[in-house]
Structure formats: C-alpha cells, structure tokens
Amino acid sequence: MKILLTIYKNEIAPRFDQSSEILIAETEGEKISGNPRIILLPGTSGEDICGLAIKENISLLICGGIEETHYQYLKWKKIKVVDGVIGPYEQALNFAIAQNLKPGMILPGAGIYGEKS
C-alpha cells in the first residue's frame, strides 16, 4: 500500500491545500518497505497534491483539514482519505499501518511543531 502524508516539520500539516511538503511511504503488511520519500513542492496547491497522489498511485492519503471538493475528488479517484489528523506524522503513519488511524484523530504526540510532548 502506498501512503501519502501532507507534512509540516515533524507533524501532519494543518491544512491540505497549504502543504508544500509531502511524504510518500510504501508498506508491506505491517511494515514500511524501503525509505519513505519526502517531496518538496514548488508551491502550495491542493490540485497539485491531488494530481501527484494520482500519478503516484496512492491508496491512502493522510492530511489535516481538507476542503470538501478535494476530498470528494480523491474519493472519486478511489483514494482513501483520513483527514483532520493532528500530531507527528511518524505516529500517524504507524497508526495507519496498524489500521488504527481515524479521521479527526488527535495523536498522543500532538504538541507544537517540531516538538513532541
């Protein structure tokens, strides 16, 4: 399964369309296979991230706040979206692999950017 996370520093970016950094990880069973890739985007655009998710054949997208239009579009493209997630992206990824990540989840490590409480 290929997972895309919109990130800001060590956390899930608060807003999908304002993210300029994304992380793509591939999983096999309950493990991450290979090294996750971090991609810096030239600007912030929800459309561009949608396009990238399709191009990369993403199955699961984890993000913060997302507009309904983008959400419906990704859903239409058969991409599962877990939105409204708050907290460190590593934790989000681990929760997703363990199939415990839920939309709107505030992860235990949610604190200030770059710091884990």
Which residue among 2, 26, 32, 44 contacts another protein (CB under 8 A)?
A: 44
**Cα–Cα distance for residue pair 110/89, rounded to 1 Å:** 10
**Cα–Cα distance for residue pair 55/86, rounded to 1 Å:** 26
Which residue is associated with the tokens 């800001």? 8
Q: Which helix (H) or strand (E) holds 52?
A: helix 46-55
Which residue among 1, 2, 10, 18 contacts another protein (CB under 8 A)?
A: 18
Residue closer to another protein by CB (options 28, 67) is 67
- Contacting residues toward another protein, per CB under 8 A: 11, 14-18, 44, 46-48, 50-51, 54, 64-71, 73, 76, 83-84, 86, 104, 106, 110-113, 117
